[in-house]
Amino acid sequence: MRRVEPIYDDIRVAVGTLNTRLKNNLGGIHLIKSMTTEPYESARVSDASYAYFETNWDRIKLATVYHPGSSFITNASFGVTFLVGGYWVVVGPPPLLSGTLTVGALVTFLFMSQRFTGPLKQIAFVIEQYENARASGKRAVGLQDMPERIRDAPDAVDSEGRAGRVEYDDVTFSYDASGASVLDGISFAVDRGETVALVGPTGAGKSTVLQLLPRMYEVNGGSIEIDRRIEP
């Protein structure tokens, strides 16, 4: 269990990385085709696939020792019981043992031993499946336990039923705190019922502007306000 637990953790991570890579590539296949980056993306998928193969191969190598070893130990215990019991019936009690053993008692004990060693063989499979499920559960629980990055202010008010004027005031945003800004100094206002078009090339940040409004992300600078109260 100590050996297989970190291996299954690595397998879950490798599977997640591979699935993410495949999802992104299939969803963005038009962009990949238009930018002719098929070899680059194919190499990335191959790397993720091979990483999964390597981690899964570590589990297979451990299983080739663990499962046969478990079966050998249980079968060896049954064989030792058979040999000692046979010697006892034919020759007499072995050293450190005393009394008599009949053939019927030996056969009965052997049958009972078989019923006991059979479930022992299954323990190896149960433990492996348990560690597999545990690794998957840790991934799922880890996502649920992630702390919230965006929280409402204590004095936040409900915007339902309000006029609906939206104002971006010198908004700056970057996905990575240490990276380049996606939006820099964006300012505009939209009244209720008004239509404003955002025009720009792919990746200019048009979708990001809209995602900031429901606070899918938090702005790095400036503010986005709904129905800002202007003092006279």
Q: Which of these ranges, 29-33, 130-134, 162-166, has the smallest mean pLDDT?
A: 162-166
pLDDT at 232: 38
Q: Which fold has domain 4-144?
A: ABC transporter transmembrane region fold (1.20.1560)
Helix residue ranges per DSSP H, the chain? 4-27, 29-34, 38-90, 103-144, 206-212
For the question of whether the overall pTM of this predicted structure is more than 0.75, the answer is no
Give the confidence band of 113 by pLDDT, cuts at 50, 70, 90.
confident
CB 209 within 8 A of CB 145: no
Which residues, 6+ apart, have CB-to-CB distance to 136 below 8 Å? 12
> Domain residue spans in the chain?
4-144, 166-226
pLDDT at 147: 78
Residue scoring higher pLDDT (113 or 45): 45
Q: Would the CATH topology of 4-144 be identical to that of 166-226?
A: no
The CATH class of 166-226 is alpha beta
Among left, alpha and beta (phi > 0; psi -120 to 50; other), residue 7 is alpha
What is the token pair recorded at 191?
């009244």
What is the spatial distance between Cα 123 and Cα 65, in angstroms, rounded to a whole number?
Answer: 15
CA atoms within 13 A on the CB side of 151: 6
**Three-state secondary-structure class, residue 38:** helix
Question: Residue 129 pLDDT > 60, yes or no?
Answer: yes
pLDDT at 159: 65
Question: Residue 161 pLDDT > 80, yes or no?
Answer: no
* Sheet containing 166-173, strands listed edge to edge, beginning at the edge strand earlier in sequence: 183-190, 166-173, 221-226
Which residues lie across from 190 on neighbouring strands? 166
Tens of pLDDT, residues 31-49: 888 888 899 999 999 999 9
